[in-house]
Each structure stands twice: as structure tokens, then as C-alpha cells.
Amino acid sequence: MKFKCKLKVIFAELDIKQSDFAKRIGVDDSTLSAIVRNRTKPRFDTAYLICKELGKPIEEIWTIEE
């Protein structure tokens, strides 16, 4: 089971700069970059903050590819 992150597309649709968003949720740019590029899975608290800040459910941000 593999998770796919859709943040790159969401940021483009909402015209959000990744570095600005990282500051808004209180994470390092490098941490958010790794999440966006699917190099790492976010911790629960980070995923929660991302969903809350974007106003989207987790299923709209991460999908499962089998």
C-alpha cells in the first residue's frame, strides 16, 4: 500500500506558495517539501494541521494506491 500526496496540485489550484504554507502550519520548508514529494509520510499532528489549514478532509490530500 502506497500513499500519494496531492498537495502540489492543491497548492497550485489555491495559488499557495509551499514555503508560506510551511510557515503557516509551523513546519520547516524541508519537511513540507519531503511530504509533498512523497519522500516521507507526515506525522499525525502535521497531517492534522495541513488538513485544518486547507479546510479539506484527509482523503482529498492523500490517496491510497495499491
Domain locations in the chain as residue ranges: 2-65
Average pLDDT value for residue range 28-45: 97
Which helix (H) or strand (E) segment holds residue 14: the answer is helix 7-14
pLDDT at 1 over 90: no
Alpha helices (H) along 15-65: 18-25, 29-36, 44-54, 58-61
CA atoms within 13 A on the CB side of 44: 0
- Check residue 66 and give its pLDDT: 80
Average pLDDT value for residue range 26-40: 97
Could you report the per-residue pLDDT of 3-27, keeping only the tens digit for each? Answer: 899 999 999 999 999 999 999 999 9
> At the topology level of CATH, where does 2-65 sit?
434 Repressor (Amino-terminal Domain) (1.10.260)
Where residue 63 falls (left for φ over 0; alpha for ψ -120 to 50; beta otherwise) is beta
Average pLDDT value for residue range 55-61: 97
